[in-house]
Amino acid sequence: MSYQVLARKWRPGNFTEMVGQEHILRALINALDEDRLHHAYLFTGTRGVGKTTIARIFAKSLNCETGITSKPCGECGACKAIAEGRFIDLIEVDAASRTKVEDTRELLDNVQYAPTHGRFKVYLIDEVHMLSGHSFNALLKTLEEPPPHVKFLLATTDPQKLPVTILSRCLQFNLKRMPISLIDGHLKFILQQESVAFDDASVRLLAHGADGSMRDALSLLDQAIAFGGGKLEQAEVQAMLGTVSRDRVMHILKALVANDAALVMKHVEELSDLSPDYANVLAELLAMLHQMALAQKVPEAVDENLVDREALQQLATQVSSEDIQLFYQVGLIGRRDLPLAPDPRGGLEMALLRMLAFKPTLEGRASQSASVAAAVSQTAAPQSSAPAASTAAQQVVSPVSAPEVIQQAAPSAPAVSAPTLVAQFDGNWAGLVEALNLRGMVKQLAVNCTLREKTSTEVNLTLNKENEQLLNPVMLKKLEEALCASLQQKLKLHIELGAQQVESPAKTTARNTAERQQSAEDTIQQDPMVQALKENFNAEVVPNSVKPINNS
């Protein structure tokens, strides 16, 4: 007997064998059991999710010789004929190849005649959106008032192209894309039944590659079994799909977090020897960044099936949430623009270098904000009022171009740089934080704390409950080491959650930023030239367009 492909061999023969789409099956089973049948059904969804399969099972249920039932026997003549594609009262039409109105009229000429063998004459029209406008008009009247012995089952991947007059005459069921976990479980079941050796990682790769389509998953499984000589192994499936090991992408991600451009390029060079699909590499990197963001904010939401779950959770503690979001956004845009790059590898390298290029900009701005906080805390008297209106207006509206911002940004640095030695601590926490030369999440932890007590052996800080996510053992240890190095003392750092009695450096920075912004906006509004423009030309100052310049 000739070999039958897995997609056909394991095609469900009844509703109980269906995988997924429970919301559709429940409605159809109840309709069949309660004999509440409509004359036209429309099944929509992407390719390979079960539209035609459900329609054929429904046709079995309508014409089974045991009666209308949600559990067709599969043994009677009608069930066997439908399964083998030779049931005369099931008329299957591929609308993509029969788009002309003459074809539709010819098809509908026999609607009035009673079924030959079955209980109902069932018209299964696949890709119905491909019919022409005249064909839809020819179908419309029959679809609205068909004879009682006729049922229409329509399937399409693009329901937006159907006229509303057709949609309004059908019961519409939208089939969902298959989740990876469901595809993964079904493939493992089939492999066990087929006695094919496999490992979990290879099946997971196939489930990812199917992109929500069970039929595509089974086709890929057939190809992988042939490629692997009757067994599935991760390395061979990766080679077949053009994907790369997650370990290699993890190496790139770790180099990004470490801000090491040379190491990033080294890993890309090693990756190029495998001739990978660089779009898939970026997609894998984005998926890891997504899991890291979840690990920081909602740890329980991290996918438990990930092989490198613990590694990603550990990596998430070494990078700020802002950097993760920056990496993700740059990678997302890079993946979109990858087809436009002269060379796919070059497109990947430029996306990775952009991640590193923009990261110092954010850190530089954070460093400038901390400098303002330290200066404010050390100044006894408030700063003088704003200069004359016209002069201040010129300063406020002075533009700062993007290249200048990048040139002024601090160079890339690790989470904790070499701290400045402090001869004697006078209780000025904001000034001490500035001297520590912190970066990333460690710095965010420090600037959001306030000093409660400092002894010869301990430093006790207070952190607001709203910033609890910043506190973890790794960041606490790094901050403690920086304090010991700067003060040249052996100190134990304790951070407690609670109400802060004084303003933290971060809040001081935010308050001063808001005051400077308000001062800039007031200065612009009072400027004589701006007022003249408003009076003579009904001009308006665009909200959020006024930015104070940084005079430091």
| Digit-coded pLDDT (tens) for 28-51 | 999 999 989 999 999 999 888 999
Distance from C-alpha of 234 to C-alpha of 240, rounded to nearest angstrom: 10
Check whether 144 has a pLDDT greater than 50: yes
CA dist., res. 337 & res. 282, Å (int):
11
Q: What is the mean pLDDT of residues 204-213?
A: 86
pLDDT greater at residue 293 or residue 406: 293
Residue 334 has pLDDT above 70, yes or no: yes
Buried b (16+ CB within 10 A) or exposed e, 185-216: ebbeebbeeeeeebeebbbbbbbbbbebbbbb
pLDDT at 330: 94
Share of the chain above pLDDT 90, in %: 32
CA distances from 65 to 77, 113, 118, 169 (A): 8, 20, 8, 29
Produce one character per residue of 285-315: b if its CB has 16 or more CB atoms within 10 Å, e if not.
bbbbbebbbbbbeeeeebeeebebeebbbeb
Q: Whole-angstrom Cα distance, residue 431 to residue 436?
A: 9
pLDDT at 196 over 50: yes
In the prediction, which pLDDT does 418 show? 61
**Residue of 175, 173, 161, 174 whose CA lies nearest to 40:** 173
Mean pLDDT of all residues in the chain?
83
The pLDDT value recorded for residue 59 is 92
Amino acid 77 reads: G
The yes-or-no verdict on residue 547 having pLDDT over 90 is no
The conformational region for residue 138 under phi > 0 = left, psi -120 to 50 = alpha, else beta, is: alpha
- Whose tokens are 């801000």? That residue is 259
Full DSSP string of 379-409: -SSPPPPP--HHHHHHHHT----HHHHHHHS
Q: Taking 50 as the threshold, does the pLDDT of residue 388 lie above it? A: no
Give the tens place of pLDDT for each residue, 426-465.
Answer: 888 988 888 888 888 889 999 999 999 888 889 999 998 8
* pLDDT at position 74 over 50: yes
Task: Give the chain's domains with CATH numbers.
Answer: 6-174 (3.40.50.300), 180-237 (1.10.8.60), 246-357 (1.20.272.10), 414-502 (3.30.300.150)
Mean pLDDT of 300-309: 76
- Looking at residue 374, what is its pLDDT? 54
Q: Are 502 and 450 in contact (CB under 8 A)?
A: yes
Q: Is the pLDDT of residue 2 over 80?
A: no
**pTM check: above 0.85:** no
Phi-psi region of 463 (alpha: psi -120 to 50; beta: other; left: phi over 0): beta
115: left (phi over 0), alpha (psi -120 to 50) or beta: beta
Q: What is the predicted pLDDT for the residue at 392? A: 38
Instruction: Quickly state the pLDDT bin for 337 (edges 50, 70, 90).
Output: very high
What does the alpha-carbon distance between residue 521 and residue 373 come to, in Å, rounded to a whole number?
Answer: 21
Residue 117's SS3 state is coil
Q: Which residue has the higher pLDDT, 123 or 276?
A: 123
Are the CB atoms for 410 and 364 separated by under 8 Å? Answer: yes
Kindly indicate the confidence band of residue 551, based on its pLDDT and cuts at 50, 70 and 90: low
Is residue 100 within a helix (H) or strand (E), and if so which, with residue range?
Answer: none
Contact present, 472 and 480 (Cβ < 8 Å): no
Are 178 and 19 in contact by the 8 Å Cβ rule? The answer is: yes
Q: Give the per-residue pLDDT at 236.
A: 86
Cβ atoms of 499 and 466 within 8 Å: the answer is no
